[in-house]
A and B are shown apart, each in its own frame.
Chain A
Amino acid sequence: MPAFTPPPLPSDDKRWKIVNGTMRKNGFARYALIETLHTVQSSFGFLDDEAIRFVAQSLRVPLSQAYGVVTFYHYFNLKPPGKHTITVCTGTACYIKGSGKLLEAAEKRLGIVEGQTTGDGKISLMAARCVGACGRAPVVLADGELQGQMTGEQMAEQLERWIVE
């Protein structure tokens, strides 16, 4: 049986080498699928068709299975994130302390619902299950930076700053 040759990198974008590195480290074993998808997302910000196809082929996983994994786990994004991302934590402690109102206010101001990005590609609005900073509830992540004891005004200010940018 001829030895398996992984497919060529989709382009000469250096980030593909990082992705390939993860797979090589795991000997192109099928179990490295989730690890590799994590690398793709941390390198590119999201997973597009090209990336999923490339990873599936390289690991000899059926495309349907790879796509199944991508859509099963909430952490993976299929669409590119906006320039900025606001993530409202909707864990129980945050819910008790009014994160629902924060999310509602953000949806209203941005004119999108949770999981979407504004038409100009500027701001993505996400809801997190729980970021584990319950002691500081309600919590919002502004571009990944954790901000605790968030008020509606503070969040509105943050959004306005991004909108006029």
Chain B
Amino acid sequence: MTAEELEQIAQSTRAEYAKFDHEINVCMGTGCLSQHSDRLKDVLANEVTAQGKNAFVRRTGCMGLCAAGPLVLVDPEETLYQHVKASDAETVVKSLGGEPVAELECNLREHFEEQVHIVLENSGHIDPEKIDDYIARDGYKALLIALTEMTPAGVIHRITESRLRGRGGGGYPTGLKWSTVAKATGETKYVICNGDEGDPGAFMDRSVLESDPQRVIEGMAIAAYAVGASKGYVYVRAEYPLAVSRLTACLRDARRRGLLGNNICNTPFNFDVEIRLGAGAFVCGEETALIASIEGRRGTPRPRPPYPAVSGLWGKPTLINNVETFANIAPIIRNGGKWFASIGSERSKGTKVFALTGKIKNTGLVEVPMGIKLREIIETIGGGVPDGHTLKAVQTGGPSGGCIPANLLDIGVSYDALMAIGSIMGSGGMIVMDDTSCMVNVARFFMEFCMTESCGKCIPCRSGTAQMFTLLTRITDGTGTMEDLELLEDLCSTVKETSLCGLGQTAPNPVLSTLKYFRDEYIEHIVHKKCPAGVCPIKAPVTASVEVPA
């Protein structure tokens, strides 16, 4: 494959589609598929033939607005239809070239206008299993530029210049990580893509892998060139069968096109990728645990240093980045580091994909520039809390994160700002809670998660999470005491400071942040034996507490 050949594929693919007057894109991400959008696509295709329209019906990845699925996007008009049923196919096809079908139109301009799509630029526009669709939208151009015009050091320089930070949650500077692996001595090095999206309530990685898998493969190949690796692994959850099957198909196509394998693009660069399935262990999102799992062992973390960059998979220098981090690489190489660094806030550059869910009108996937106010995400893009309820908190970072109260909605979303208020950026789960959610119960929910997911290797995490869970259960039962609360706070700091890995070190975060902002709810449970939201199963009888009359 040469640059000319790549350009030729892109042009002929574009020319092929240009023959059609219309393109009907049918979302076949997991959300819409669960509402049978696959059948809808077939019906639409039959309808196009029956009505003799010159239109192309395409399967695409996620369009983001899962709540309004199944979604259909008609190009070039850019008309978005929501809740499309098979019985609507006739009307939709009939309307092509004329007035759009008003009752199906999705008019959420503000939902889309506030977003900036880099990672999701192809989602909903290409068929994820057609490599030529990806190439037609500048796919693999970045890999060719890197291989033929840049040195590995030049690639790393560009990534450093972009000031991209790891999107898995930690926010470690990607360029710095790459250069550490590049400098590490050793013939054999590995690149691993962390797709073990264990945070319950997050589905960014899944969506990227389902909607635009080639982008991740291209990012990995560029990374491998930069650090000097020739073998890569994508570690993906077995719970994501669609992502696995699309990724498998894409790897096969990339090999066929000579974009993976030996002597890629007639250069000495060799690279290939294998898929490794996770098996349902949250702790495997931690890099050393993930490596143990790829090696076929129990996913238990080990102390660092040595960091995987020096001694990782099978003791070799290993680069581990998250799916979304790799998805950012190709655009940075194509458009330059400065371009990327011009988007976002002072210390957090680019965009972030969030899975916006919970008590919010427009649930789904959104991509926003860093630094955007949380309020804008919730109110403008998300459409606010439905059914007349009021917003109580926004949870970010999953079991490692915290709850942000409604009065802090005006902070800008960045790694540092979220950290400063006791939460974290995390991988991108953003769960909105309204007045029907009990914050103590939420803390208990996350603690149960961490307790079950603790690998058991270190005592603070293994016992600490279990003890904290017991205390939280007592409080939600109405049998807790103020001493319990004190003990809980004490345990939080012990577990945070003494656990071996990130799971344990961050497990107390949901408790700490709810204690910080919603302490009154804890007190209400303990002292007045009441759950303000009416969620907790208060067991204890209401004791006749003697109230001293004023």
A contacts, CB < 8 Å to B: 30-35, 37-38, 61, 65, 68-69, 72-76, 90-93, 95-97, 128-137, 139, 145-148
Contacts and interface: CB of A to CB of B under 8 A. Distances in A.
A80 B71 CA distance: 38
A98 to B, nearest CB: 9
Contact of B201 (A61, A69, A75, A130): A130
Given A96-B359, A96-B433, A135-B364, 9 more contacts: A32-B296, A34-B279, A72-B299, A76-B279, A92-B445, A133-B31, A134-B203, A135-B31, A135-B357
Nearest to A30: B296
B534 interface: no
B14 to A, nearest CB: 31
B358 A93 contact: yes
Q: Find the residue from B34, B296, B449 having the highest chain A CB count within 10 A.
A: B296
A132 B398 CA distance: 13
B271 interface: no
Given A69-B297, A91-B200, A148-B35, A96 B431 contact: yes
Interface residues of B, number: 51
Interface in B291-305: 293-299
Interface of B: 30-31, 33-35, 66-67, 69, 197-203, 206, 237-240, 276-282, 293-299, 355, 357-359, 363-365, 395, 398, 429, 431, 433, 437, 445-446, 449, 455
Contacts of A37: 279
5 contacts: A33-B296, A34-B277, A38-B277, A72-B299, A73-B299
8 smallest CB-CB distances across A and B, nearest first, come from A135-B66, A92-B201, A91-B200, A73-B279, A130-B200, A75-B280, A74-B280, A132-B203
B295 A128 contact: no
Given A72-B298, A133-B203, A95 B34 contact: no
Contact of B277 (A35, A91, A130, A139): A35
B431 A132 contact: no
Given A34-B277, A34-B293, A137-B363, A132 B299 contact: no
A142 to B, nearest CB: 11
A146 B30 contact: yes
Nearest to A37: B279
B34 A91 contact: no
Contacts of B34: 133, 136, 139, 145-148
B448 to A, nearest CB: 9
B462 to A, nearest CB: 13
B365 A34 contact: no
Contacts of B355: 93, 134-135
B104 to A, nearest CB: 19
A37 B279 CA distance: 10
Given A73-B281, A93-B357, A146-B34, A134 B296 contact: no
A115 B94 CA distance: 50
Contacts of A147: 34
A30 B292 CA distance: 12
Contact of A75 (B279, B294, B455): B279
A51 to B, nearest CB: 15
Contact of B429 (A38, A68, A69, A92): A92
Contacts of A129: 198, 200, 239, 280, 282, 449
Contacts of A65: 297
Nearest to B239: A131
Contacts of A146: 30, 33-34
Contacts of B278: 73, 75
B35 to A, nearest CB: 7
Contact of B298 (A30, A69, A93, A134): A69
A95 B282 CA distance: 17
A31 B294 contact: yes
B238 A92 contact: no
Given A38-B277, A92-B431, A135-B67, A148 B31 contact: yes
